[in-house]
Structure 1
Amino acid sequence: MAEPITMPQLGESVTEGTITRWLKAEGDVVEQDEPIAEVDTDKVNTELPSPLAGKLQKLLVSEGTTVDVGTEIALVAMDGEAEPESPPREDAASAAPTEEFPAAHTPAQPVAATTSPAAQAPPAPGGNGNGRAAASAEELRLRRSSPVVRRLAAEHGVEISSVPGTGIGGRVTKKDIQGFVEEQEAPPEPAKAAKPEVAPRRATIHDGDRVEDLTPIRRAIANRMALSKEEIPHAWTLVEVDMTGLVALREREKASFWEREGVKLTYLPFIVGAAVEALKENPILNSVWDGDRIVLRKGINVGIAVDLEDALIVPVIPDADELNIVGLARRIDDVVRRARGGDLSADDLSGGTFTVNNPGSLGSVASAPIINHPQAAILQAEAIVKRPVVIEDAGGDAIAIRSMMNLEVSFDHRILDGGAALRFLNAVKRRLEGYGPEAGLG
């Protein structure tokens, strides 16, 4: 017996996938969880493991074809199973009911569908002791109908056999006929006019211009960003953070950290760690809008926006609140390397509840990020820049050169207001400014 394999949903919001290469051919034996194909989606390229064990009977989708999630892509003949054959019925007529009026609660008999010679032959005389031939299920159904029902059906030109019976034993009643007639005579509902598809407005192409088709990942980014801006009323705000103490701490620790951990010590783990602690104090930013209610997520799963030069991808660090700075540094380094190497799985991109972006690594000093739909907010860390700042010391105000960073948050104004967003930002700011040259990494 062949069982189908369908295109799975390889990540949140993924609706289709492309079979880029079959790793197995028809007739091959496959084990459960053995890769059978390479699949490309708008979020990830991955191998598709077989959910079944058996012989690959048929490939239903050719390489390079894009299909919707849930589409059957292959058939697998299960090990040790054969399609059962129904034994022939030697005496179908003898099994037919012969009662003219079955007892109450007797189920309706199915219409005989056999085309065997025995079934087509005229009934033999006798057989029930009363000299009557064994009746077919349909004949019984007609005979069970009352004269009123038969007359009403004749008046309206209705075949009783086409009317579902609701009476005892499947008997067609007067109400059944009347309801069937009303249903047939009711005017059809006007078809809703389908919205015409609006062709995208095309740019004017000039000599020397080059036109590039959208890649699946670029199309997905375009759709997600458009959905976010269309559905979510964005608002954003910004605070300045004095990173001088943290800069000194990193300079002191980065060489030994690399030797000890094998990964670079960047500012991002400190920012993510501060954001996680601030989310615990301000859980409204770790939530989603759900129609007429707000769902506050228990888990803090932080998405890290990773620049791929021609795209942006957001792998997720689940349960980020359970990691210290060292743990966050390791996990961030791992997901960034795998993102840039194309080794992320669908699970790596699913389940995010809050996103942190770091455009400062590319030199940005101020920007308003777009929320990663359907999350409530996104935190953006800008470049750390040395500039003169007025500070207070024992002698009063003074001008000093400090390492300053702008920190922004974009938020869903349906879920929270500016006050809640600023309380969150200031909680992040306090933690980042609390680091000094002698602080520990934790």
Structure 2
Amino acid sequence: MSNTIFSGRTWREYVYHWAALFLGSFGLAYVLLVPSLAAGLLVTVVGLFLVGGLVLGARGWGAAWRGLADGLLDEHVAAPPAFVRPRGFWRSLGAMLFDSTGWRALLFMLVAFPLSIVTFVVSTVFLAIGLGGVTYWMWWRWLPEQTMDDGTVHRGFSIANGDWYWFADRPSRVALVALGGVVFLAIWPLINHGLASLARMLSRGLLGPTSGAVRVAQLRASRAAAVEDADARLRRIERDLHDGTQARLVAVAMQLGEAQDILATGGDPTLAADLVDVAHTSTKEALTELREIARGIHPPALDDGLAVALETFAARVPLPVTVQVDPALESDGGISPAVRSIAYFTAAELLTNAAKHAGATRAVLTVERPDADSLHLRVHDDGRGGAVVVHGGQDGLRTGLAGLTERIATVDGDFTLTSPAGGPTVVDVTLPTSTRP
């Protein structure tokens, strides 16, 4: 975008200088209020909470300045993670008093006020000189007359140095002043943009989230997601057991009881045998359901190693799957059980998606161990592509690709999806070999 006097960005940046000067004065007053109150209230616990509240209140000021930068400077600064009040009286007080986001916002306002004065004055002076120069020919005749020592009378813009003076009261000199105004107006957008860039840098540096804050927020979110996911899975298992296996076993008990009553009363043995046969079939189906539920909790094949478990699952997928496993994974040495489980369920979910939803005719599963601290998993299929991560799920259960991303995030792993329309779909997952830091 060009920086000219006619561009909208130039005037939005100039309006920002005005707004920053206005808002900065109130912001500075707020900044000075914090130490002023703190000096008199530090002796009381209630006073400490008041000071902490002011520190947290600076977050609102930071949001206002971010909105100003976004609306007038086209500078979108991501909001820092929201404040999370910890449990406990003293921990809560300490978190309020030492909230880094609040203190960074206070520092921003402390610097923003003198910066806004400088940027406003410099930009306005260049603009005023430029506008005054190009319009000089219109109004210079109404300036007061000045009588010089030699008796000559002049009016208009003048430059004097001792006995030497120069008045812009002739057509050639008026044109020269107008030319100077054009030069200033040509330079002003560049000066104005450079001054606005200082405000952009300050906003990015002090009003955005720090890497540490983002990391803490991600860990907090992934931990919450893991807890909710575990709770949802437990409820699903309970529902499956209650509505499926338990109901089937109750039916088996009733059928066996009815057969027992028939035999005890001398009834038809054939009818009793049929009931026992039905109960026997129901028992086998219940065992199958229990095995499926147990496999969803912890696949038995994982006890023989990740490589065996993946090959076993790939053999059950209803499409040809080529499994390429790094020989270093045969023993699973150094890989924590939690990571093995996540790797297994990730591969299982991706291969299932390829078979059910992608319309793939073949897939390749590659598992490597680039180094001692990481595990890399890739699933490549020739399906129709267009896969996206859609967050949300029924009953709070994270399913599909969204569930995978959140499960992978709980161990600080990386998930990369490449799935253009028409395919192919390639998913790369990198996991740490240990869940401990």
TM-score for the superposition, normalised by structure 2: 0.22
Q: Determine which structure has more spread, i.e. the larger CA radius of gyration.
A: 2
Q: Indicate the structure with greater strand content.
A: 1
TM-score (norm 1): 0.22
Q: Pick the structure with more helix per residue.
A: 2
